[in-house]
Amino acid sequence: MKILPLLLLTTHTLMSADLATLLPVAKNNLRVESARIETQKAHEQLEQIKAAYYPTLSATALYRKKDKTTAFEPKTTQGIEIGTEVTLFDGLRREAAMDAVHSAITQTNQTMAQEEQNVLLETIIAYYDYFDAHARLDALRDKKVELSAQVERFKVLVKNDLATNDILKSLIASKLEADYDEQSQNIALQRSRKNLELLSGITIESLEYKELNTPLAEKIERHDLQSDRAMIETLHHSEGRYTYLPTVSLQAKHREMNYNDYNTMGGANIQPERQNEISASVSMTLFDMGSIAKEKEQARLTTLKAQKMVEYKAKSLQNEADIATMTLNASQSAYTAAKAEEAARNEAFKTIKQL
């Protein structure tokens, strides 16, 4: 019983759509889903970095046979080894990687939010482009009807020597041009519909017009700029990978071995079958001709370059926002003037009818 309303809703969406139905489904656009997957990937990277703080456990099976050995060295060795290793300190590389991944998560979240906004905006544009193309197509069809009537009328006039043939040819050429314009406008109409289907992910048979309220001007930082700033933080934290600080690790191993074919010297040279081993190691780069320092400087310059590009992008977007605001104000003024002109024409038409 619950399936039928869902099927009816889906059918209605496919048969007839407006902004109220297109915008919610556009949020599941493949581009948005791709950005969402990138966010999930960043979270998995965070879990990978966390795993570096835990010890690793390994097991090794060994079989070795030598054809030439000394009398006191086993020719055949076999056994197993179980070992664990933990890094106690790695020169703060893990911490730098952790901070970088946290910034990367913020970056992917902002990128996903921006992609969702982009898809919604493109959906709105394609929606109104469709109706703009539809209105232009209707106007062209009305023009064709008028031109066809004029062609037929001038055929009669030319036949009766009441008009010249060049006017008739000009009207016929205008009608052919209108035929071409109609085909081009119909292509533009279908392009807008196909674009809407691509953005929304549904098949659209028809569209219903719904006017969108004028948006309120509100100054907020765009998600893509926030994503870019988070990217800069990621680059900055990544600089911590290049360091001369030491790495301290601890290893523990247990061996179960079997040694054959060697001289035990009456028991004095018996190899131990069980062995426990604990070791600690400290490693660091003492001299590398400044290679690590140069890599860190390159990383710093990469961060600085990205920062300058983001600053330029912010100024460029602000310029675009200022121009868009002026364009919107001009459009509102033109719309108000057009409504006033339409009201005046309607009033004049009513006066003429009364006369």
Domain boundaries, the chain: 1-27+93-212
CA distance 216 to 136: 29
Helices (H) and strands (E) in the chain, counts: 7, 6
For 269, what's the count of Cα atoms within 13 Å in the CB-facing half-sphere?
A: 13
**CB within 8 Å of 81: residues ≥ 6 apart:** 59, 60, 62, 253, 254, 255, 256
Q: What's the pLDDT at 11? A: 35
Q: Model confidence over 109-154: pLDDT tens digits? A: 999 999 999 999 999 999 999 999 998 999 888 888 888 888 888 8
- Pick 305 or 340 by higher pLDDT: 305
Q: What's the pLDDT at 268? A: 66
Q: What's the pLDDT at 151? A: 85
Listed range (97-111, 247-261, 328-342) with the worst mean pLDDT: 328-342
CA distance 329 to 333: 6
CA distance 101 to 241: 13
Question: Residues 59-93, buried b or exposed e (16+ Cβ, 10 A)?
Answer: eeeeeeeeeeeeeeebeebebebeeeeebeebbeb
3-class secondary structure, 273: coil
- Pick 3 or 228 by higher pLDDT: 228
Per DSSP, which regions of the chain are E strands? 16-17, 56-65, 76-89, 206-207, 247-260, 274-283
- Pick 140 or 268 by higher pLDDT: 140
Q: What's the pLDDT at 202? A: 86
* Distances 21 to 11, 34, 36, 194, 309 between C-alpha atoms, Å: 12, 22, 22, 16, 38
pLDDT reading at 57 higher than 90: yes
Q: Model confidence over 74-96: pLDDT tens digits? A: 888 899 999 999 999 999 999 99
- Pick 41 or 264 by higher pLDDT: 41
pLDDT reading at 289 higher than 50: yes
Q: What's the pLDDT at 10? A: 37
Average pLDDT across the chain, whole number: 86
